[in-house]
Each structure stands twice: as structure tokens, then as C-alpha cells.
Homo-oligomer: A and B are copies of this chain.
Amino acid sequence: MKQKNRRTFIFPKPVSIISNASTAGPKEGNGPLGGYFDIVEQDTHLGEKTWEKAESRMQNKTLTLALEKIGMKPEEITAVLAGDLNNQCIGSAYGMRGLNIPYIGLYGACSNMAEGMVSASIMLNSELMNYLAVVTSSHFSTAERQFRYPLSYGGQRTMAAQWTCTASGAVILSSEKTDSDPKITACCIGIINDLGITDLSNMGAAMAPAAADTISSFLIDTNQNPEEFDAIITGDLGYVGSNILYDLLKEKNIDIKKQHYDCGKIIFDPDKQDTHAGGSGCGCSASVFCGYFMKKLRENKMKNILFSATGALMSPLSIYQGESIPGICHLIQVKNR
């Protein structure tokens, strides 16, 4: 066996994040991290006739900007790994159509950004290719009407509910060693965890067990302590899920509270922006990673972080059929040089 640990890989060839870009909608742009996003859209339609077309446009713009930042053309990218929350992942399919980049479609729900970077990093370690892109997005209005209620219905949201972010993030990854870019040095592939949560308005609770499983497995497999990191990031557990994560990790004698950031908690202001349990959606963790944390790494204000993102793998139909919500969490370690 070549593998020391089953799910955890320390890369012989760390993968360089040679570019990153982020887009946010108006509400996200008005939040505490507004200044960190490359693009803040003022119109949630992005000039398109439908929200779904707007989401595709946002994903296309974000990846295009990531390429432009380093003067790369789409044809230099071997493949893009992309996915989103829409049925059949149409945010990505139509967003990437026309860019002429080989396309590997992913579905990891809100874990997409981490799933994509895990998968791309493993692929780049094959040394078969030089550049891969990862992109994802979410849109409040496409997600809300697909997963919950028509927006015009005006349903009241529970306090455990999260607000799907209108946002997108993209990275360009390279197998070539660059001096100045942050590197993905290790990863952990998620396992489906399902502890029986059936409440579609409490995704944090459904996803926290997967986060606890992946984060604890990674720390144990790599023999690292939470204190070694400037940040241990989760995607969108929100306020409810983050507290459950702390409790679950406590059972394993792991305390990450001092280093923990949850993208869903920090993207909105809990006092001024009424989002109940925080933000969510593929675009939440993607835009906060690509906007906020990548900036901290590039400025050397953070040197060593864990980025994990959780996904809830149910569908409205599976819940109507009495199923509980399977959660998953993928993780990467990123060092700033």
C-alpha cells in the first residue's frame, strides 16, 4: 500500500493557487467582507432576464476574471471543475459553455469549492497537466425557489435557516511551483455522514457531523494541532452548525474555537443584516475563501490555514419521501508560500 491514511493526502508536489477571484451580490457586498470581493454586483439579475441566467453569468465572470488577473487565456487551462446547487448544475453548464475549456462537472452541494480543489489537487499531482480551474456559485433567488418556496410566497424563515449567498469564487491551480503563491499542501476527502436530521431549515445541524469527522480525521492523520493554524475554516455551518461542530469535536478532545472561522457567520453582519443563522450556498465559502482568506494568505497575514466546506446532499424530493439529510465535508490545507 502506498497510502498511509485512507482519506488524507499530503501532496508530494504542493499545488500553487496562481489566481483567485470572487464575486458577490449586493447584500453580500454590504456585509463585513464587502471590501474583499473583486466584484460586487448591484443587480442580482446581472442584466439577465432570469436569476438562473444571472448565476451562470456570475460564474463565467468570476472565472474569466481569475484568468485575466494572470493574463491567461481559457485555452491554456486543461480543464475546469465546476458545479452549483441548481438542478442539473445549470449554473455551471451554461456559465462555462462558450469558454471552450474541457469541463468536469461536480456535485457536492455547498462543499463544491473544497471538493473541486481536493479533486483538482489530486489530478495535478499526476503531473499529466499544468493548469486546472475550479469555480462554483450560488444565488439566493435560484436556490430559495428551488429548495424552499417561491419568493413571492413570502414564507417566514425559521431562526435556524440560513441565507443562500449570491456569490461566486474561482481559482486557477498549477502543478508548477511558483514562489509567490499560496500552496495546497494536503487534503482530506469527505465521507457521507447522516445522523438523521430531516429539517430543511437546519442545514447547519445536518452538516456539522461531516465537518467534525473530516476535520478531526485530518488533524489526527497528519498529527497536527489546531494551534498550528491561523484559521480553521468551515464553509457554511452558520451559528447553529458551528456550535454543534464545537460540541462534536469536544468529544474527541479537539478544540478549534480560537482558530475557527465559518464563512456563513462572517459574510453577514448578524446585527444589521437579518440572515438568522448566517449565510450558506456554494458561493458563500467560495467567495469568502477566494476573496478574504486568499488575500490574507497573499499578504502574509495568514500563513497556514485549513479550508473545509460542507454540503447537504438531500433534495426536496428526498425529504418529502421521509429521508434524512446526508452531509459531506471536504478539506484542504493551504500554506502561504
Q: Which A residues form the contact surface with B (CB < 8 A)?
A: 1-3, 6-7, 9, 11-12, 49-50, 52-53, 75, 78-79, 83, 85-90, 93-94, 96-98, 100-109, 115, 118-119, 122-123, 125-130, 175, 189-192, 194, 311, 313-318, 321, 323, 326, 328
Contacts and interface: CB of A to CB of B under 8 A. Distances in A.
A17 B306 CA distance: 34
B106 A106 contact: yes
Given A93-B314, A190-B103, A191-B102, A128 B87 contact: no
Contact of A52 (B2, B87, B317): B317
B122 A75 contact: no
Contact of A129 (B3, B85, B100): B3
Contact of A318 (B94, B107, B313): B94
Given A52-B317, A313-B88, A313-B89, A94 B191 contact: no
B105 A108 contact: yes
Given A78-B7, A315-B88, A2 B130 contact: yes
Contact of A107 (B11, B83, B192): B83
B128 A119 contact: no
Contact of A102 (B189, B318, B323): B189
A190 B82 CA distance: 13
Given A102-B189, A102-B190, 20 more contacts: A2-B128, A2-B130, A6-B75, A6-B78, A7-B79, A78-B189, A86-B317, A88-B313, A90-B313, A90-B323, A94-B323, A94-B326, A101-B191, A103-B192, A104-B106, A104-B108, A104-B118, A104-B119, A105-B313, A119-B119
A318 B7 contact: no
A87 B315 contact: yes
Nearest to A75: B6
A123 B127 contact: no
Contacts of A103: 189-192, 328
A122 B115 contact: no
A90 B315 contact: yes
